[in-house]
Amino acid sequence: MRALITAVYLFLYAPIALVVLFSFNAGRNASEFTGFSVEWYGKALANPFLITALQNSLIIALVSATLAAVFGTMAALGLERLGSRARAVFDGLLAAAIVVPGVVIGIATLVALVAVFGAINPAIAAIWPGERPPQLGLGYGSIIAAHGLFTMALVTMIVKARIATLGRDIVEASADLYATPLTTFRDIVLPQILPSVLAGFLLAFTFSFDDFIVAFFVAGSKTTLPIYVFASIRRGVTPEVNAIATMVLVASLLLILIARLLMREKTRKSPAGE
Amino acid sequence: MTSAPTNDIEFRSVTKRYGAVTAVSDINLSVPKGAFVALLGPSGCGKTTCLRMIGGFEQPSEGEVLIAGKVANGVPAYRRPVNMVFQHYALFPHFDVERNVAYGLRQLRPRLPAAEIARRVGEALEMVRLTGFARRRIHEMSGGQQQRVALARALVNKPSVLLLDEPLAALDKKLRTAMQIELQTLQRDLGITFVLVTHDQEEALSMSDLVCVMSAGRIRQLATPQEVYDRPADLFVADFVGKTNRFAGTLETGGTVRLGNGAALPAARADLAPGAVTVALRPEAIRLSRGTAGATTLEGTVTHRIFLGSAAEYSVAVDGLGDLLVTAERHSQSQNDLVAPGERVAISFDPGQTHIFPA
C-alpha cells in the first residue's frame, strides 16, 4: 500500500521536480544534468516574444480577475436574497460552470463569439460613416470575457461561503442604527467579505494566468504565456521552457498560498463569543 | 387634527402573511408612551414578526403600524426612530466596543461633532457599566458583556422606542435575573418605551407593565402582569402563563359545576351557557391537609414531592379526577411542614379562585 502511494506521488510530482531541476541545468540537453546555472532564466527574460506573451497574460489575468471579483461578489450578494428554490438552481449552475471541461468552454465561447461578431460586424459597417469600420474580432477582449466568465463562478462560490457565515442580523442591526443600504455595504458587509473577495481574485488570476485550453480557442492572433510555451515546445524542450515553467509555478503557488491564508484567516476569527 | 400622540406604538388591524402562511392576523395594539410591554407567546405565535414590523425589517401585508403617531408602513428600518437589541446581539465583529456603540451616532446628518459622539458613547458605556471596555474587541468579551454592549449601542441613540428580541435567552440564569433588574431600572430611569419579545412567562411577568399574550398570530390578552395571571382571558393564557391545573366539568343551570368525580363547585357565571366547561386552578390556590376532612369533597394520595426550599410542589392523585399539581409554602423548618409521598390528603380551595372556561 505504502509503495503504491509513493508511486502515485512520484508519478504526480517527479516530473514537476524535474522541470524545476532542469531549469537550473547548465547544459542544453534536457535529459542530462551537467551543472548548476541560472543562465536560462536570463535567456528567458531577455526573449522579447516571451516578454510580450507574459505581458499579455498578465493584462488578461488582471482584467479578467478584476471583473470576476467585482461581478462574482455582486452575484454572491444577490444570490443570498433569492428564494431557496431559485438559489438551488443557481448553485447548481455555478457548480456546473466550474466543472465544465475547458475544451467545452473554449469551443462554446468561440462558436458564440464568432456568431455574435458575424451578426454585429455587418451592422456596424452599414451604419459606419467613415471609410474603414471597426471590426470586432478575437483578441484581448475575447480571452478576458471567457476567463472572466468562468472564474466569476469561482469567486461567487468563495464569497458566497463567506456571506453564509455572516448572518443577516448584522445587516439588519446596521439598518436599525440608521445606516443606509450603501453605508451598510461599505462599513459592515464589505470589510467582512473582503478577504474572501481577494482570495477569489487571486484564484481567478491564477486560473486565467495558467489557462491554456480556453485561451487557445479564443485568443485569435494574441499569444499568452501558456500558448507561447506550448508553441515553443514544438521546437524541442529547452531549459528555457523549464525556467519559464518554474517561474510560473512559483508565482502561482505563491498566489494560491496567499488566497488560502486569506480564506483561513476569516473563518478562524469570525465566531465571536458563544 | 390629532393632538400629541399618547401611544408610541400602534397596530391597526395588522396582518402579515408569508405566502400562504399567516404569521400575524388582524392585530390591534396600543403601547402607551413610556410603557414596558412584553409580547409573550410560544415560538411561532407572531410576536417576533410584530417586533420586526416595528423595527422596519418586515412590512405588514394589511393594516397600519404607527410609530409616535405617524404611519410607518413603507418607511425603511434606517429611517425609524426605534432601535433594537437583537437576540444574538448582532454586534459588528470587526469594530471594537466604542465603534459599535458610536455606529448609530455616526450616521446622523448633519454630523455630530466628534467630541459629542465621544461624550455620549462614554455615557452609554457608563450606563451599562462597561466604562474602560471601549477598546475591547467583541470576541474578547463574555456573553453578558456583549449583551450590555448591544444595549448601549441601541440606547446611545436615545430612541423613542427600544425593541428587545429575546435579549436574555442566551444568558445563564443568574446573569438573566441580574439583567432583568438592570433592564427594568434603565427603563424607569430613561422613560423610553420598551417592547420586549419573550417566550419566558416569568421574564414577561417580572419586568413589564403590560403583557400581551399571543398565540397563532393573534392577541389572546393584553393586560397588566397581575391581571394576566389572576384573571386569564382564556384557557390558553391560563395554561401558558404560570402553572395551571385543569379538569373537565359540566356547568349546570343554577350555577354549579359538576366535576368528573361528582363533586360540585359553586360557579356564578351567568355569561356561560350550561354545558361542558374546563375548570382551571392555580397550584398555589390549593391547600393540603393530612388525613380526611369532613367538609371537603376532594381527597387523594400524594405521588411525588419536589422540594423547592421555601415551598414544595406536590403531585396528588385525586380520587376520581386525576393528577393535581399543588404548591405549598412552608411556614417553618420542620419535617411536619412537608407531606410525604404515599400519604392521604384532603384538598381544599376557595371556589372563587377557580377560572371556568367553555370547553
Mean pLDDT by 10 residues, chain B (359 residues): 71 94 94 94 94 95 94 94 94 95 94 95 93 93 92 94 91 86 91 94 92 95 95 92 89 83 77 86 88 68 89 89 88 78 87 86
pLDDT of residue B5: 66
Whole-number pLDDT of residue B17: 95
Residue contacts between A and B (CB atoms, under 8 Å)? 78
Ranges A43-52, A125-134, A198-207: which has the least confidence: A125-134
Q: Which residue of B has its CA nearest to A168?
A: B90
pLDDT grade for A98, boundaries at 50, 70 and 90: confident
Range(s) for CATH 3.40.50.300 in chain B?
A: 7-239
φ and ψ at A201, to 5 degrees? -60, -45
Q: What is the DSSP letter of B68?
A: T
Whole-number average pLDDT of chain A: 87
Alpha carbon of B192: minimum distance to chain A alpha carbons (Å): 17
| CA–CA dist A148, A68 (Å, integer) | 5
For residue B91, give the chain A residue with the closest CA.
Answer: A170
* Closest chain A C-alpha to B331 CA, distance in angstroms: 42
Cell of A70: 467585482
Helix (H, G, I), strand (E, B) or coil at B200: coil
Q: Are A155 and A197 in contact (CB under 8 A)?
A: yes
Round to whole Å and give the CA distance between B351 and B267: 7
Confidence label for A62 from pLDDT (cuts 50, 70 and 90): very high
Cell of B247: 379538569
Neighbours of A37 (CB within 10 A): 14
Does residue B255 contact residue B268 with C-beta atoms inside 8 Å?
A: yes
Chain B residues at the A interface, defined by Cβ less than 8 Å, are: 55-57, 76-79, 82-84, 86-94, 103-104, 107-108, 138-139, 141-143, 146, 153-154, 157
Q: Which domain holds residue A189?
A: 2-28+35-268
Which CATH entry fits the domain spanning B243-358: 3.40.190.10, 2.40.50.140, 3.80.10.10, 3.40.250.10?
2.40.50.140
Please list, in sequence order, all residues whose beta carbon lies within 8 angstroms of the beta carbon of residue B346, skipping any fewer than 6 positions away: B288, B289, B290, B291, B292, B293, B296, B298, B299
The CATH number for A170's domain is 1.10.3720.10
The per-residue pLDDT for A30 is: 64
Residue B93 and residue A272: Cβ atoms within 8 Å?
Answer: yes
Candidates A84, A177, A184, partner chain B, best to mutate (most B CBs within 10 A): A177
A267/chain B closest Cα distance in angstroms:
12
Which band of pLDDT confidence, cut at 50, 70 and 90, is reported for residue A80? confident
Beta carbons of A173 and B104 less than 8 Å apart: no
Q: What is the mean pLDDT of residues A67-92?
A: 91
Cα separation, B301 vs B326, in Å, equals 12
The pLDDT assigned to A265 comes to: 59
Residue A259 lies in a domain: yes
- Which of B57, B82, B101 best probes binding to A when mutated, by most A CB atoms within 10 angstroms? B57
Rounded to whole angstroms, how far apart are CA atoms B274 and B358? 9
- Sheet containing B344-349: give its strands across: B286-290, B344-349, B298-307, B311-318, B322-329
Contact: A172, B86; criterion CB under 8 Å: yes
Q: What is the pLDDT of residue B309?
A: 85
Which residue of A lies nearest to B145 if distances are taken between CA atoms? A273
CA distance A34 to A131: 60
Query: What is the pLDDT, as a whole number, of residue B214?
Result: 96
In chain B the first and final C-alpha atoms are separated, in Å, by 46
DSSP A96-150: HHHHS-HHHHHHHHHHHHHHHHHHHHHHHHHH--SSS-----SSHHHHHHHHHHH
Q: What is the pLDDT of residue A213?
A: 92
Q: What ipTM was estimated for this complex?
A: 0.83
Position with higher pLDDT, A152 vs A83:
A152
In CATH, B7-239 is 3.30.110.70:
no
Return d(Cα A241, Cα A227) in angstroms, integer. Answer: 12
Q: Cβ of A272 and B142 within 8 Å? A: no
> What is the reported pLDDT for A274?
33
**A176 or A132: which leads in pLDDT:** A176
Q: Which residues contact B230 (CB under 8 A, 6 or more apart)?
A: none
Confidence band of A37 (pLDDT split at 50, 70, 90): confident
- The pTM for the full model equals 0.80
**pLDDT of amino acid B21:** 92
Supply φ then ψ for residue A101, to 5 degrees. -60, 150
A183/B103 Cβ within 8 A: no
Long-range (24+ apart) CB contacts under 8 A made by B257-260 are B257/B356, B259/B321, B260/B320, B260/B321, B260/B322
Answer for the pair B357, B220: CB distance below 8 angstroms, yes or no.
no
Please report the residues numbered 192 through 211 in chain A whose beta carbons come closer than 8 angstroms to any beta carbon of chain B. 192
pLDDT surpasses 90 at A44: no
In this predicted structure, what is the pLDDT of residue A270? 45
Number of domains in chain A: 1
Residue A83 contacts B where some CB pair is shorter than 8 Å:
no
- Is pLDDT of A49 > 80? yes
Rounded CA separation B47/A191 (Å): 33
| DSSP three-state, residue B285 | helix
Locate the chain B residue with the closest alpha carbon to A193: B94
Residue A274 covered by a domain: no
The whole-number average pLDDT for the span A182-189 is 94
pLDDT of amino acid B79: 94
- A178 and B88: CB-CB below 8 Å? no
Q: Which pLDDT score is estimated for A28?
A: 75
d(CA A97, CA A112): 16
Domain with CATH 2.40.50.140 in chain B: 243-358
Higher pLDDT, A238 or B127: B127
Centroid of chain to Cα B212 = 7
Q: Sign of the CA dihedral B65, B67, B73, B74?
A: negative
Task: Note the pLDDT of residue B338.
Answer: 83
Q: For residues B348 and B296, is the Cβ–Cβ distance under 8 A?
A: yes
Distance between the two ends of chain A, CA-based, in angstroms?
A: 44
Among the partner-chain residues A169, A178, A269, the one whose CB lies closest to the CB of B88 is A169
Residue with the larger pLDDT of the pair A72 and A240? A72
